[in-house]
Structure 1
Amino acid sequence: MPDHDNHFLKTLPVIQREELLSTGRPSLEARKKQLLKLKTILLEHEAALIEALHSDLGKPAFESYSSEIAILLNEIEYVCKHLVKWNRPVRSRHLKLGYVEALKKVRHPYGSILIIGSWNYPVQLSLMPAIGAIAAGNRCVIKPSEHAPATAELLKKIINHAFSLEQLHVVTGDGQTASLLTSAPFDLIFFTGSGKIGKVVAEQAAKQLTPVILELGGKNPCMMDETGYSKGAIREIVWGKFLNAGQTCIAPDTLFVHHSIYEKALNEISASISAFYGDRPQASRDYGRICTDAHFQKMVEFIGQGNVRLGGEHDRNDRFISPTVVTDIKPGSPILEEEIFGPVLPVIPYTDLKTLLASGRLQRDTLTGYIFSKDEHQIQQFKDHMRSPTISVNQVIHHAASPHIAFGGVGRSGYGAYHGKSGFLAFSYEKTEYKTYHYLRFQGKFPPYSDRNMQALKKLRKWLL
């Protein structure tokens, strides 16, 4: 065990829950203070975090700041600004037969929350859920991914130094550590990762009836019809696909292009990749690396499943795979069935949107769906077809940075959502105080019942119940 013995891991949620019970639900000021402490940590250790992210993933400093640090700073500021309003009790009164009922609904924390982060955005996906959990008044244990070891160790160092064990604690370790944690008596588990591991987490949590939020992945389709083409649109798609070397759960997975603009789009994709990363992407300081050897091998296999239109170069020692475009893929190939999660972009022509949607070639329950079009009818067709919680029109990726938009999946892409107010709601439950003020006692509701009472009930049910 890299960090602690089994007993300690099992008792972590008990320690945090007992502290919460003894001190009571933290005040709004206490929660804001904790969030602002987290903000200070991010600012003070910005350079070290960027260095760790480069060590693990070869991330450019710009991407590390924009997609990991900046998004967390913005989230903290947004949550602190709106927390008082979100936490305000909701009161209402309702006139009933013989009495007035008064309701007071307040959000309460679950208790001790386990957060299991992912390796592709190891800072953001470890700390973003913690922001919502702390805002709701919870205690947290964070288990970062072992596949981003430099970042995980740095998070453990800076978080555990600044926060008490009872408030916020980082535990490092491998899958065995994660298994021990998911079998501990946490009050809620938040997991980001693959569907395969997500099922294991959900099964383990179900044994203790522990609620779970799963943020998984999927093959996010990206459509471009004959009205949606422009050089700017292609640049957005190329940027979103190859950001973080394609290792983004909301990246455009596969690009479907209308046949009338197919060659023009392919040529512009090549031009955009060259403009972004030069003729030798391996030498570009703005292009990342594949996280693990196993994932590298998977990308190499994907490349071999179609004709390489652009790229295809790879270096195992550097975990480098160039931005790659593949075409003419055989039906049934794994690259068409599995989430790619890397810098390989299949580009597939189509002739009619309705026929394509009916073919079953698009996964409907992805985290998001993208369409580039000026045709409102086709946009509506696509929106009606997809089950994804978010549909992005003429843009990729940006929606995930907004605290105004709930981030989460449906079906195979997970369940539950967070970011902004959605995070505050996800990590709390509604507690209702119910009071009645009687002005008349309706005796007909008490036994012994009679036919007369039944007739009265049918006439007065809206007032009685």
Structure 2
Amino acid sequence: MNDSLLHALRQNFQQGNSRSYAWRRQQLLNLKAALYRHEEAIYAALSADLKKSKEEAWITEIGFVLSEISYVLRHLKSWMQPQNVGTNLLNFPSKSYLLSEPLGVVLIIGPWNYPLQLVLAPLVGALAAGNCAVVKPSELAPATSAVLRQITASAFKENEVLLVEGEGAAVIPRMMEAFRFDHVFYTGSTQVGTIIYQLAAKQLVPVTLELGGKSPTVIEPDANLEVAARRIAVTKFSNAGQMCVAPDYLLVHQSVREPFVQHLKKAIDDFYVSEAVRDYHYGKVVNQRQFDRLLQYLQEGTVLYGGSYDAPTLHLSPTLLADVRPEAKVMQEEIFGPLLPVLTWSKEQEALDIIARNNNPLAFYVFTENDKKANWWMEQVPAGGGCINNVSFHLTNHNLPFGGRGNSGMGAYHGKYSFDTFSHKKGVLKTPTWFDPAFKYPPFKGKLNILKRFMR
């Protein structure tokens, strides 16, 4: 890639072209219009890359981004206003406020599982905050990457938003070593996130890392088992389980294991046909490497349900696994596929010990009708976010931050949190000149008591 394109972004930002409300609003409107113009092309690309149906593509990709744009447009002007804060006695009668200023030129690196949404949703926040951006879609979703190239080319100038394609392992290090970005936003695996973090640290570049982890789901004896089964099934097997906030394993109280498993089997039967390869609503595994990895997991437990696959089309049916050993790979690594281990517990500490083997998950879910129990679980399990009697839908609420902690990432976005992620909060103190007391100036001898009074 020509480095002059990166420097053109820097020059455009330094000229102040991206700072105004009018520019930010127009960029978001341009992106919104481009998504509608390319709607059919997006459907075709997501079908080619992941066999997503139009309905799933709209809900989880196109519509998700459009909703984010609409929310940001409604609030952007107020977010840009200085935010008044209190002033201490020492600085009386000064005025204090926070000013949100753009960071500069940011780099957004997207994954392959939601290859449109997870590139464009962060971009919405970056543009709203007044930045120029480089976006790097995943090469593992080539059809969607090609459509994203068309979308960005039609919506932006190259010195506003630059799309870069190619193999990430080669392209990203070269860019980050040749050019200092003002922020790097990465969504993907913990392994690659560690590399991104190291590259950024060399130049003290701040990062947002949206990683993964093994998100547990606890089923209490008093849970509504039928509702729990349906809500778990619809989310876990969406996109063939290739979702960072999908339940990674279940922890079912032993007293309700059998009825819950029956409800879960019925829910899967209701949602998908028995041969998933022919199901319009059921996706495929992204590539052969991921498919082979998932097949290895099949050998690490007893298949309670599913387990069928079609290698030529990379389809693996929704599968429930039992008798999984804690040291098995399927319990050590993020599954990221349509396999769901079902574990049991009788005392809370048993479940907590299992969760602690992969602490700080991206999400934690609990199903119970008891508010006290629900709150107890939420307090006991450190996680990026979570739901009570629901799964994954916390990420659809613009008012909630979405992000991880520890091994599941750092930083957050969505709605106002995206704007804040791509902004710097500048603290400003404005002091009038009509009041200028002598006690603030040397000599200070004899002023100790009055200084103590003002600085309590």
C-alpha contact (below 8 Å) 2:384/2:408 kept by paired residues: no
- Of 221, 230, 233, the residue aligned with 2:225 is 230
- For residues 53-452 of structure 1, the aligned pairs below 5 Å read 53-91=46-84, 94=87, 96=89, 100-174=93-167, 175-183=169-177, 184-358=179-353, 360-361=355-356, 363-450=358-445, 452=446
Asked if 2 retains the 8 angstrom alpha-carbon contact of 1:221 and 1:362, the reply is no
Amino acid aligned to 2:379: D
Deviations 1:424-446 (A, max 9, x none): 11100112333212455444444
Structure 1 residues 61 and 446, CA, compared in 2 at 3 Å: closer, same or farther?
A: same
Whether the 8 Å CA contact 1:205–1:212 is kept in 2: the answer is: yes
Taking every aligned residue pair, what percent have the same amino acid on both sides?
35
Select the residue among 4, 18, 22 that pairs with 2:11.
18
Contact 2:188 2:210 in 1 (8 A): yes
2:251–2:343 CA contact under 8 A, matched in 1 = yes
Partner Cα separation in structure 1 for residue 374 and residue 343 of structure 2 = 19
Contact 2:17 2:23 in 1 (8 A): no
Cα distance, 1:29 vs structure 2: 2.3
Q: 1:271 to 1:362 in 2, by over 3 A?
A: farther
TM-score (structure 2 length as normaliser): 0.95
Q: Would you identify which runs of 4 or more consecutive aligned residues in structure 1 move more than 6 Å?
A: none
* 2:366–2:377 CA contact under 8 A, matched in 1: yes
Does the aligned pair in 2 maintain the 1:221–1:363 contact within 8 Å? no
Deviation, structure 1 residue 357: 1.5
The answer to whether the 8 A contact 2:219-2:252 is kept is yes
Unaligned runs of 5+ in 1: none
What amino acid sits opposite 1:17 in the alignment? R
Structure 1 residues 286 and 460: alpha-carbon distance in aligned structure 2, compared to 1, 3 A threshold? closer
Preserved contact between residue 90 and residue 455 of structure 2 (Cα < 8 Å) = no
Measure how far apart 1:367 and its partner are: 1.6
Q: Which amino acid is the alignment partner of residue 100 of structure 1?
A: P
Counterpart of 1:28 (choices 8, 11, 21) is: 21
Compare 436-445 and 128-137 and name the one that shifted more: 436-445
Choose which of 448, 453, 457 in structure 1 pairs with 2:447: 453
Moved more, 148-157 or 307-316: 307-316
Q: Distance in 2 between matches of 1:306 and 1:189?
A: 39
Do 1:364 and 1:385's aligned partners in 2 also have CA atoms closer than 8 Å?
Answer: no
Q: Secondary structure at the match of 1:222?
A: strand
In structure 2, relative to structure 1, the CA distance for the partners of 1:92 and 1:267 (3 Å cut) is closer
- The alignment's C-alpha RMSD in Å is 1.8
**Are the equivalent residues in 1 in contact too, given 2:439–2:447 (CA < 8 A)?**
yes
Q: Secondary structure at the match of 1:279?
A: coil
Shift of 1:196: 0.5
Structure 1 counterpart SS, 2:228: helix
Give me the whole-angstrom Cα distance separating, in 2, the residues matched to 1:399 and 1:270: 25
Q: Match of 1:437, SS? A: coil
Q: Does structure 2 retain, via aligned residues, the 8 Å contact 1:98–1:438?
A: no
Give the distance between the partners of 2:360 and 2:425, measured in 1 at CA.
28
Contact kept, 8 Å, 2:213 with 2:334, in 1: the verdict is yes
CA–CA separation in structure 1 for the residues paired with 2:231 and 2:365: 11
After TM superposition, the score normalised by the length of structure 1 is 0.93
Instruction: Report deviation, 1:313.
Output: 1.6
- CA distance, structure 1, for counterparts of residue 67 and residue 409 of structure 2: 25
Show CA shifts across 1:56-89 (max 9, x none): 1111221111100111111100100011111111
Q: Which structure 2 segments of 5+ residues have no match?
A: none
Question: CA-to-partner distance for each residue in 1:133-182, whole Å, 9 max, x for gaps?
Answer: 00011111100001001110111122123310111121111020122223
Q: CA deviation at 1:26?
A: 2.8
Paired residue total: 454
Once the two structures are TM-superposed, the CA of residue 300 in structure 1 deviates from its matched residue by 0.6
Shift in alpha-carbon separation, 1:384–1:95, aligned structure 2, 3 A? closer
| Other structure's SS at 1:114 match | strand
Which AA in structure 2 matches 1:109? Answer: P
Cα-to-partner distance string for 1:367-417 (whole Å, 9 max, x where unaligned): 211111112232122111111132201111221112121111111110011
Residue 100 of structure 2 aligns with an amino acid whose one-letter code is R
Change (3 A) 1:461 1:307: same
| 272-281 or 167-176, larger mean C-alpha shift | 272-281
Mapped contact 1:229–1:261 kept (Cα < 8 A): no
Instruction: Note the alpha carbon deviations across 1:443-463, whole angstroms, 9 max, x for none.
Output: 44444553x33344223324x
CA contact (8 A) 1:418 1:426 kept: yes
Letter in 2 for 1:336: M
Per the alignment, in what secondary structure is the counterpart of residue 100 of structure 1?
coil
Cα distance per residue 1:278-325 (max 9 Å; x no partner)? 121111111101112111111011111001111112222211111111
Amino acid in the other structure paired with 1:303 = L
The one-letter amino acid of 1:62's match is E
